[in-house]
Structures are given as C-alpha cells and as structure tokens.
Chains A and B, each alone.
Chain A
Amino acid sequence: MAPAKKRNVSSVKTAEKSAKKAKVDLSKTVERILESRKHANDVFDILESLQAEQEKEVISAVAACSELFCALLERKELFLGKLPGEEDALSGGYSAEDKYRIFMRHRYTSCVEILLEHLSHEHAMCCLMKFAAGEGLHPLEDLDWSEHYTFPERYTLSFVALVDNLLSKATDNSLLISRFQEFLEMEDVRYYVMSSIRDNAVVPVYQNNVFTLMSSISMPNQESELTNFMVKQEAKHEDWKAAKLHEHKRVFERMWLGFLKYKLPNSMYKKVLVILHDSILPYMSKPTLMIDFLTAAYEIGGAISLLALNGLFVLIHQHNLDYPDFYKKLYNLLEPSVFHVKYRARFFHLANVFLSSSHLPVYLVAAFAKRLARLALTAPPTALLIVLPFIYNLIRRHPSCRVLIHKPSAEDEPFEDPYLTDEEDPAQCRALESSLWEIKSLQKHYHPDVAKAALLINTPLSEQEDDISETLEVTTYELMEKDLKQPEIKSVPLEFETATRLLKGGGDVLGQHFCLA
C-alpha cells in the first residue's frame, strides 16, 4: 500500500497543491497521519505550509511539525542508522515498513532544513530544540554508548546546524540568542554549545553573535548544581563529561581564550571587560591565563584601561598577581575624561579599594590627592561629590598628607604651585610640597552641596571616613530632584529687579551677543 502511494508522490503533490490551496487544518492532518499510515502523504501539506508567506500559517505549521515528528520519534517510526537515498530505498531490498521509515526520515530531514531557514522565528528554534531532545532520547544513529560518552546532539543534524546558524556571520541574532538562553540553562546543552564554539573569524557581526551567546552562558558554581539535563544518561553518568564541573570549566576557559585570541573592536573589548570580573574569571579553571589579556588591555589607555582594572584587581587580590608599576599606571589613568565616562562609579569604587591600603607611601597618596584635585576643576557636580570625599578619605587614612590642606610653616610666604602636572611618575611630581588650592577654588562652586563639601578643608577633618559608595551612582537628575522635590518651602525668594524685556538683566550677556529675531 505504502509503496504504491510513494510511486505517484509527485503527481499527488501537484494535485494537492492545486486542490488544497485553501486553509488546511493542520492539526487534523497531523492526527490523521499519526492515526494511520495511509495518510502519510499529507505530510507534504505541512511542509508546504511551513514555507508559506503568512507568519501565522508558518507558526501553526511549526507547531504541527513538532507535534508530528516528536510523536514519530517516540514511536521510532523514523529510520535508524545511516540513511539511504530516497531512490535507493525504492530500489533496494527494504521491507515496506523500512521504506515507510526511510520516507519519513527524509521528510524529517527536509523539515529540519526548512526550519533552519526560518531560524529567525523563535518557534522554529524551539521546535528544533524539541527535535534535539527527542533525538537524544531516541537516537537516530545506532551508537554504541560505551564508545562515545558524548551528548547525542553533537551528532544530530538539528543541533549542530542550529548552533552554526545562531552564530551567523551575516545577521545579528542577539534576540534569538537571548531566547536560546533558556536552553543554555541545561547543563548538557551548555556543555556542547561551549565545546562547539570553536572556529573564530574576525567578522564583527559574527563576533557579536558569539559574544552574545557566550555572555549569556551562566556557569554553575558547584558540582551539585549540575542537575538540569535535557537528556538524562542513566548509564555511564559517572563518566559523562557534561556532568563534571571541571570539564565545564575547561571548555568554558577554552572557549573564552579562543575568542579573546583574535583582535577585537573597541566596543567589544569594553563589553568583555565589563563582564570579565564577575562572569568569566570565577569560572575559569586557571584565571591566571587572563593576565596577558588584561595587561594588554590595561596598556591601551582610556576607558578600556579603567575597565581592565576590575579584572586586574581580582587577579592581584585573589591570584597573587604581582603587577609592577601598578600605581604609576593608575595615576596616569587619571585624566579629565575619568569624570565623564560611563564607568565612573566602578572606577572610583576600585580606586578607593586600591588606595585603602595604609602601607602606601605618602608621596603616592599625596600625588593622587593632588591630581584628583586638579582634575576636579573640570568635573561636573556629581563627580565632585565623589571626588571631594575621596580626597578627604585619602588624607584621613594618611595623616602625613595633612600638609596638603594645612601647612602652617609656609603660611605667609606665597609661592608658585610646585606640582608638576605633566610628570608621569607620582614620585617626582612634588605633590607633597603643594597645597590643594583647587578645593579652595571649589568653595565658590555654583552647586551648594559641592561648595559645602569643599568648605570642609577650612577646619580639621573629622576622624570618621566618608562613605563614598552612596554618592557613586548619583545622577544629575537625582541631584536636581533634591531641590525640586523639597516638600515645603517657606517662601520663594524672588528677583526684585523688575523684568521688562527678555534679554535684559543678569549683566546683559545674552542681550549683547544674541538678538530676538
């Protein structure tokens, strides 16, 4: 019965195409196919609507496909082992049952191909993952488990193709990858994804995709957390690599090192550095392998150096990295843009940590304080509210730095500021001989909070250190809200000079340079 049908496949196909152009009830078709093999040819309907124009139709077709083929996989009605060609199957000496299976297996393969084409649909991806899970449980290849302790997906068409397509070199798949993230929760999927990201290319879109995929991998912390598998391997579980944390770590490390080996664009550099310290370094089996990368990044300068600091800190702090001239480099990182970059809060948090040691030489601390004060002359108020307490904390920790704000010995003799701005070595910059006149200038700052903070140097500083962590993230708008949301103002002072014209008043600066017309 079945072979007869198969012989007039092409004619039936065209006939059906013309006849059933109208809406096909796909779920009914699926039921029919599963009910009896008589209707096996209806599978072409489904595959056809899978290629339809309308999105809705495609979605329903995808659902139908997943239902159909998952059921078939479960029933083992797909051909196992090496698949013979469709023509071969007809001519070869297969039984009718086998022929049916081969037929279905071919439809399955073509379905997977179509789905891969439609990968931009998340439904298609979910469907593929379902196939992968199904194949994992009921492998299509006849494998000997004792030989391959590996995840079946590696050998399934759908899974490998899926990962390859995700990491496309042409399109940005970040949305799809974020959807894929939920599958990455599963240990075995993660393991094989990590080990399948291998070959690299210096194509920005590809790198972007790879980075999105890699950064969405969240590693388990302990071996006992490895419980969520897509395919359970009851036998040989002990020997299975995907079930071992150190294997995971090894693959993870290899993946990242492989990625970072290539030249990255600056934005990618920043992205990597932002997540480096808390989602990469802790999960590497040998974090010290990152030293080269980090030192290279630290040398680049600018924002990248600022970001590299964080990773370096972890290495210095936890892995005993000895970094010569660390402070000198940190000192040279201080330039006006520090106050304007996005990572200001992170930088000051780390700088605070680095400079919290009481074993630092005085000249170094003084140099930092003076440099920061000098830079404060160009800083916005939100940064000033961080920097001023920061400098005060430095002076508090190192009482011998008090000469910066209190030098009674040289009170009456005016002298030029001996501090050398351009000197790169903090030891040579003569900061200790100077005074923090910059803070004195900031006492005239327009923002009341800053002016108040700057006024503190007029009196001896209190013993208690200021907590700068609260002010690190304050934005200008929040600062503004402080004044805007004042609950009860007694009475608002008003300008007493009568306003007559738009451009008058306030020294007429605007009126002098601009006119209304």
Chain B
Amino acid sequence: MGKAPKKRSLADKVRKTKTSSEIKNNPFEVKINRKKFDVLGRKSKHDVGLPGVSRSKAVNKRKETLLKEYKQKNRCSKFIDRRFGEYDTKMAPEDKILQRFTMERQRVHEKKDVYNLNEEEELTHYGQSLAEMEKFNDVVNSDDESEEKGLLSAELTASHFGGGGGLLRKKALGEEEEGGQRAKSRQELIEELIQKSKQEKRERQVQREEAQELTEKLDQDWKNIQSLMVKKTPKADKQEEKPKLEEYDMMVRELGFEMKAQPSEKMKTPEELAKEEREKLQKLEADRLRRMMGEEVVEGAQSQIHFSADDLNDGFVLDKHDKKTLAYQDGKWNMGEEEEEEEEEDEAEDEEGEGESSEEQESDAEEDEVEEEEEEEEEEEEEEGSGEDDGHSDLESEQESENEEEEEASPKPKKTLSKEEVKAQQEAAKAELPYTFAAPESYNDLKDMLRGHTSDNQRLIVARTQKSNHPSLAVGNKLKLQKLFGFLLEYIGELATRSPPELSTIDKLIPEVYALCQMFPDAACKAMQSILGDAAHSMEETLEVKGHAAFPTLDMLIYLKVTALLFPTSDFRHPVTTPALLFISQALTKCPVRSLQDLTSGLVLCSLGVEYVSFSKRFLPELINFLVGTLHLAVQDKASLGYIVVPPFRASGKYSDLLVLSSSESCRSWSKKSLPLSATQQLDLGNDPDRDTHRLTCLSTCLDLVKRCCLLYKDLPSFTHIFQPIRTLLSKHLSTQTLPEPLQELSSEIVEAISSMPVTQSALVFDKRKPIPLKLLTPKIVEVLDYGKKRGSTREEREKERLKHKYKREFKGALREIRKDSRFLAREKLNEVMNRDAERKRKVKELMGSLATQEGEWKSLKRKKK
C-alpha cells in the first residue's frame, strides 16, 4: 500500500516535467525577446520567456497568499492545523500518517511509563540491557527484514556467502519482500517498525563496545612493551650519567643562547654600519622636513623606530636605532671602546649586571630568565652608550661628528668632586641601592624615593624603576610608567623652583624623561600640554587683570627647554611645540623688563626661541622686538632714536636704562662667561662692577642672538626692514659708546651682515597657474579596456549610480506587483459577486419553478375538482 502512491507520484513528476518541456516547445506558450544585435560571449538569461507559465505561477502564489489574506479579512479567529506535517509538502501522505501514528504511540507509551517502576531500572552488562541480551536476538540478521534494515545485512551476507552476486540476490529479496509485505496487516507493519529501531540501537551499542575492548587491549599490550623498554637501561648507569647530561645540556643551551643574542645578520663592517645609520637619519630628516612644510603625514611613514619582527610593539626596545651591532674596528671590539670612556658608569653597570645575575641565579636558573637577564643587561649597556656623547662618533655621518666636536668644545658643567671621590661615593651609595623599585603611585612617592640620593643615583633609581616596571612584565605597568612621566615632569619643575635650583639633577634625569617619552608619546604629549596650558592660562588671567605679567619662572623655562628636547620644534603644526612657541612669544610681548633678572629670563626665552626656529627658520617677530628692546636698554642717549621700540619696552622711562654701564672701567676687565640659569630667579649683584659685568654678558648674549637671527632670516624678503632698527641701533647709537673689544667686533659684524644683504626685490606676482584650456570641440576618445562597466566616474559615484538604478528597478517592480495584486483582487471580488448572483438566480429560479409546479398542481387540482 505504501508503494503504490509513491509510484504514482513519481509518475506525476515525470508527467509534469514532460509537460514543462512540452510547454517550452509549444510555440504558442513561448515568447521570444528579440535582441537587436548579438553580442559575442554574452549569455542572456531572458531571451525566452514563458508568459503563460509565469502568469499562472503568479496567480497561484496570489491565491495562496493574497486571497487567503483577503478571505481572512475582518475575521479575528483563525484555523490552524497543527497536525504533524500538515503543511509539509515534501512529505508523502503515507509518511505523514505513519509519523503521526508513531508519535501518538510514543505519547501513550510515555504516559504508561511514568508509573511503571520495573521498567525504569534496567540491568545492564557492558552498557547493554540484560533483558535485551536474554532474548538472544543478537545474531538475528535474517533476510526477512525490511528493505532499509536489510541493506547492511544483505550486503554482509552477499559478501560472506558470495555466489550468485549481490545484485541478483538483492533483487530476489526485494521481490520476495514485496510479496510478503502485501500479506502484512497494518498492525504488523508497525510492530516491525518498532523492532527495527530497537535493533538498530542495540547494534550501535555492540559496535561501541567492541571498539572499547580493542583499545583496552591495545593499552595493555603497550604497557607490557613499555615496561620492557624501560627495563633495558640499568639503574646504576642512569644515576651516573645524569650530571653529565646537565652539563652538556647547559653547554648546548649556552651556545644556543649566544647564537641567539648575536645578530642574525652577518657582521657588518663599519662602513656598512655608518651607511645604515646615515640612511636612517636621512629618512627621519626627510620626515621632519615634510612635517615642517605642513604636509599631511602619511600613515606608515610615521614609524621612527625600526621594529624587528619579534617586537611586541610595546616599546621594549626603545633605543633600537641606537643599538650597536657587534663590530670590529681596527681589530678591537667596538663596544669595549665605548665602555672605556666613562669608567664609573660602566663599573656601576657591571656591578648591577652581576647583582642581577647573582640574584637570578639564586632563583631558578631557567632559560627564560637567563635570556631576559641578558637582554636587560644588553639594553642597559646600550642606554649607557647612548647616554655618552661621542661613543660612536666615528660611526655616524660626518655632519654628526662635526656637531659633536662642537659639543665637546662647548663648556661642560664643571665637576666639583674629583673622579676618585665620585667613584668612591658612588660605590658606597650603590651598595645600598636596591635593584628593583615599585613604580610610584603618587608624586610624593616619587619624591620619597629620590630624596637624599645623589643626582646620578636618582637617575639610576628612575632607570631601574622604569625597567622593573616594564610594560611587558605586567598588565598595569604601562599606566604606572605613564604616570611616572608626569611625576618626573613635576619633579623637574620642583627641582627648578628650589633655591638654589638643582639643575644638574635635572640634567641627569633628561635621558630617562626622553626614554619614557619615546615609550608613551601620547601620555607625554598630554602631560606637557597640561603644563603649558596651565602656565598660559595663569598668565592670561594676570594679563586680564593687570595688563602685564611677570616673566615665567625658571621651572617654566626648563619645561620649555625639555619640550624642545622631547618634541620636534620644526613641525608646521605640532600639538606641543606650537603652543610652547606661542607661550614664548606671549611672554616676550607681555612681560615688561623691570630688572636684570627679568632681562636674563627674557634672554633665556630668546635663546629658546632661536633654538625652536633654528631648524625651520621660521620668523618670530617677538624675538626681534625683544632683542631690539634689549639693545635699546643699553643706549645711553635716548634722544633722537631713529627707530621705534615695541612694547613691552618703552622709549623712555624708569627701567629704560637697565643695561647702561655705570662706568666704562668695567669694559676692560670684562670677559665672556656663561650666565647661570639661576640668574633668572635671583641675582645678588652688590656692587656696580659686578652689575656691569652682568650687563655686558647680557649684551653679548643679545648680540650673539642677533647675529644668529641675521643668519636665520637672511632669506626673508623684508630682511632689511626687519633688521632696520637693529642696524640703526648698532651703527648710530651703540658704536659711539665704549664697549669691550669682542662686543664691538660682534656688532660691526652684524652691521656688515645686515648691510650686505640685497635691498632690491622683485615685485610680487601671483603664483603661475596652469592656464585653463579652451573647450575643444573634437570628441574625447577614451580607450575602453573592460566592457560592461560604466566608466568615467569614481568608485563612489559608480556605487551611487548602481544603487540608484537598483532602487528604480525595485520601485518599478513593486509598483507593478501592487497593480497586479489589485487587479487580482478585483477579479476575485467580481468572481464572488458573479457567483453570488448566479446562486441567487439559481435559487430564484428554483423557487419560481417550485412555485410554478405548486401553481400547476393547484390548478390541476382545481381542474380535477371541477
């Protein structure tokens, strides 16, 4: 019974496909979309349409959806058939019935099971119910099974018994089954089904069990073999050999690590190294120039540090570009030479290294740690190396080395203690210094940590703090170090405000600050910005109240200098240095000079200004104004000036004679000396000669700055006008006064430099632009490379165009569908009306008929009566 309908449905399918092909072949059903021309290689999907088919499809679809909805309109209740598989069209009706039946049985069975206590507790053996086993139907793999179940067994039997061929046998079997099945009742069928499923389950269990048994056996076998294998080596030998092995291991590992620690590339000759270094510097320089021009920074070109492939990008190898590879120079190890230069620090380093290594040897001498330690040591060495000035001058470009020679020539801060003393002191102190430091949580923590240490030790402490809290070591370390940067800045400010200011400590701390800044540029930028912002804000406030402000204090001057050290001053626009420059300019324009301290502060600011613009050669008008004002302060005779002094200076007044010498005697004894930075804060010049010396030093500084400005701004078109007041001052006013020899030389040099500049200029014109071409009438010919794509627009435009097109198409389609829907509905309504009318007509007719017959009968009756 189950088979017959299946067959019929199959036949139906066949017939249907037949009809579809028939339809396709039927010329009346087919509409051919004529193409205007053929395009080679293009396959069109819609060259043939079947309007009839598609229309009937559409109508059917509407009947299923729209019509149902229509009929359901204004009705709240709905009939849903929840019988199993009711809406599943794929299921054959027989299957549906079968499934429904099994489900029902299962439900009943479950209900029964709830109270059946015995059934629940099933005894098992090897995970198999004993009850099942007792039936001994394990082997029942007979042929008289159902078709699907029989598949496996049939094949098995076929392979086991061979003969006759599986196919033949199977066929016979099927026939036999068919014959048998016909005799079976519905009840039997169902029982069979149940049995089948049970059996299947059991089979699976058996299989699993077998597999388990096999693996167990394998394990046992392996154990036997293993014990044999182990027993082969005698115990006595083992004990002896063990230390040997370790020694060997250690050697191997050491060798391995040595190899690792060395550069993977081949050793480079000094020339190669120098070349590489120069290239890197050139690249960085080019980057700087580009930023100076204010061009947009290209992503990627940004990276200033060369990253290795293993870099975690956490800034651990911060001084990578200064890393010195192992190299030989004149037969000597390059690095050794450096180390010789400053013994003290190196020794400290060695000690530190030893200390660290001993520490770590105490703990487990595991490979990772050894590696780390080595790395750390190495890094420290690098840093020390970079901390020294000219350790590798011979490796750098010529220009660099020249610079460094200059640096050497420039006076260094003198040391009060002799070398031995320093060494002894340091050693003594170092014995106390721990090797790890917790990162300070607050500014006071940092202060406590650094209190009472020498400046060198302070630096060491900060360096060690930085190392022991490296971001790669723990999660929170990054934040801690970022905070440390802020605290360090604050500490520097505090050092500068102490009296006397401890500038040498600041000097020592600079490399650490730089290193931290390189690690966390963003945090450094924020910290510096907030300092600048606060200072500028307070200055603005005093300006609003008083109209003028006091010169920035020494800590602010130091901050400005640190800014220049940490951030590039030549950028066209930089989040830190641009405000810093503005601050300098603001201070130079709004702070009136009322004492020699003020003047010294002003000159420091001027020097900073010159430093800021020394590379980019940008024009800083306030700088020139201040220098003019300073020179003006030195003019004795303020009548008939011939130039205009710009605020904050005044042509005459209480403080306009600050730099006028009290006696010309002091000119002879004067010699140029560096001014201490602390002179910006307090200056105790008791007597006139001292004051005169200070005045002359200020004047010489001022003149030198003027000279530098002359060089910087010589390319400006209005150079002569900018330097006009200076020229007048120097040539007319200051030349008449008695000044020391070097100053007079300097001033005459400046005057010469100014007057040697060309005064003629060519008139301004606009930049030449490409002329706008006339419109041409010849057609534009564009070579078409890929067909089928719209051209002549950018990607976005094309995308927009495509979306617009799609929208239009969809809109049209939707409109058409809606129209069709309403047409369909209208037709349905009409049909309804017609049907209703027909019905009515039929009923009326019926009634009429019955009435007519009644009438007829009545009439006949009447006639009969009569």
Residues of A within 8 A of B (CB): 335-337, 340-342, 374, 377-381, 404-417, 435-438, 440-442, 444-448, 451, 457-460, 475-477, 479-481, 483-484, 486, 489-496, 498-517
Are B565 and A505 neighbours in the complex by a CB distance under 8 Å? yes
Are A407 and B589 neighbours in the complex by a CB distance under 8 Å? no
Are A510 and B574 neighbours in the complex by a CB distance under 8 Å? no
Complexed CA–CA distance, A500 and B566 (Å): 11
Chain A residue with Cβ nearest B762: A414
Complexed CA–CA distance, A476 and B304 (Å): 32
List 9 contacting pairs A-B, 8 Å CB cutoff, sorted by A: A380-B585, A416-B761, A480-B533, A481-B533, A492-B521, A500-B514, A505-B565, A506-B564, A512-B410
Q: What A residues does B287 contact at CB under 8 A?
A: 493
Are B410 and A442 neighbours in the complex by a CB distance under 8 Å? no
Are B610 and A513 neighbours in the complex by a CB distance under 8 Å? no
Residues of B within 8 A of A (CB): 284, 287-288, 291, 294, 297, 299, 302, 304, 319, 321-322, 386-389, 406-407, 410-411, 413-414, 503-504, 506-507, 510-511, 513-514, 517-518, 521-522, 524-525, 529, 532-533, 536-537, 539-540, 547, 558, 561-562, 564-569, 571-576, 578-579, 581-583, 585-586, 589, 603-604, 607-608, 610-622, 624-625, 644, 646-648, 674-678, 701, 704-705, 708, 716-719, 721-722, 758-767, 769
Complexed CA–CA distance, A436 and B766 (Å): 12
Q: What B residues does A451 contact at CB under 8 A?
A: 294, 572, 618
* Known A477-B540, A498-B514, A516-B676; contact A415-B761, beta-carbon cutoff 8 A: yes
Are A484 and B503 neighbours in the complex by a CB distance under 8 Å? no
Chain B residue with Cβ nearest A449: B573
* Known A407-B765, A516-B504; contact A484-B619, beta-carbon cutoff 8 A: no
Chain A residue with Cβ nearest B606: A509
Complexed CA–CA distance, A339 and B480 (Å): 46
Are A489 and B525 neighbours in the complex by a CB distance under 8 Å? yes
Complexed CA–CA distance, A341 and B646 (Å): 11
Q: What B residues does A512 contact at CB under 8 A?
A: 410, 674, 704
Chain B residue with Cβ nearest A402: B766
* Known A484-B532, A516-B677; contact A510-B582, beta-carbon cutoff 8 A: no
Are A492 and B524 neighbours in the complex by a CB distance under 8 Å? yes
Chain B min CB distance to A302 (Å): 12
* Known A441-B619, A458-B766, A494-B304; contact A501-B537, beta-carbon cutoff 8 A: no
Are A441 and B676 neighbours in the complex by a CB distance under 8 Å? no
13 further A-B contacts with Cβ under 8 Å, apart from A493-B287, A494-B304, are A341-B647, A377-B621, A408-B765, A435-B761, A437-B764, A441-B718, A444-B619, A477-B537, A491-B302, A492-B567, A495-B567, A505-B564, A508-B410
Are B564 and A448 neighbours in the complex by a CB distance under 8 Å? no
Q: What A residues does B567 contact at CB under 8 A?
A: 492-495
Complexed CA–CA distance, A498 and B407 (Å): 14
Are B765 and A411 neighbours in the complex by a CB distance under 8 Å? yes
The 6 closest A-B pairs by CB, nearest first: A506-B611, A407-B763, A414-B760, A446-B618, A340-B647, A516-B503
Q: What B residues does A493 contact at CB under 8 A?
A: 287, 291, 297, 302, 304, 567-568, 571, 574
Are A447 and B582 neighbours in the complex by a CB distance under 8 Å? yes
Complexed CA–CA distance, A504 and B562 (Å): 10
Are A404 and B721 neighbours in the complex by a CB distance under 8 Å? no
Q: Select the residue from B386, B410, B583, B608 with max chain A CB neighbours within 10 A.
A: B410
Q: What B residues does A490 contact at CB under 8 A?
A: 297, 299, 302
Partner of B582, one of A407, A444, A479, A500: A479
Chain A residue with Cβ nearest B303: A491
Complexed CA–CA distance, A358 and B437 (Å): 74
Complexed CA–CA distance, A417 and B719 (Å): 12
Chain A residue with Cβ nearest B574: A493
Partner of A489, one of B319, B406, B575, B761: B575
Chain B min CB distance to A335 (Å): 6
Complexed CA–CA distance, A492 and B413 (Å): 32
* Known A459-B766, A504-B407; contact A414-B761, beta-carbon cutoff 8 A: yes
Are B722 and A441 neighbours in the complex by a CB distance under 8 Å? yes
Complexed CA–CA distance, A227 and B771 (Å): 72
Q: What B residues does A507 contact at CB under 8 A?
A: 610-611, 614-615, 708
Chain B residue with Cβ nearest A444: B619
Are A340 and B611 neighbours in the complex by a CB distance under 8 Å? no
Are B676 and A517 neighbours in the complex by a CB distance under 8 Å? yes
Are A447 and B294 neighbours in the complex by a CB distance under 8 Å? no
Chain B residue with Cβ nearest A413: B762
* Known A499-B565, A509-B705, A517-B504; contact A380-B413, beta-carbon cutoff 8 A: no
Chain A min CB distance to B426 (Å): 19
Partner of A337, one of B294, B413, B514, B647: B647
Are B510 and A440 neighbours in the complex by a CB distance under 8 Å? no
Chain B min CB distance to A474 (Å): 12
Are B624 and A477 neighbours in the complex by a CB distance under 8 Å? no
Are B604 and A510 neighbours in the complex by a CB distance under 8 Å? yes
Are B646 and A517 neighbours in the complex by a CB distance under 8 Å? no
Are A516 and B507 neighbours in the complex by a CB distance under 8 Å? yes
Complexed CA–CA distance, A340 and B621 (Å): 13
Are A500 and B386 neighbours in the complex by a CB distance under 8 Å? yes
Are B510 and A335 neighbours in the complex by a CB distance under 8 Å? no
Complexed CA–CA distance, A67 and B797 (Å): 85
Are A410 and B763 neighbours in the complex by a CB distance under 8 Å? yes
Partner of B407, one of A340, A460, A479, A508: A508
Chain A min CB distance to B119 (Å): 71
Chain B min CB distance to A171 (Å): 23
* Known A441-B619, A500-B389, A505-B564; contact A476-B610, beta-carbon cutoff 8 A: no
Are A509 and B708 neighbours in the complex by a CB distance under 8 Å? yes
Are B413 and A496 neighbours in the complex by a CB distance under 8 Å? no
Q: What B residues does A342 contact at CB under 8 A?
A: 547
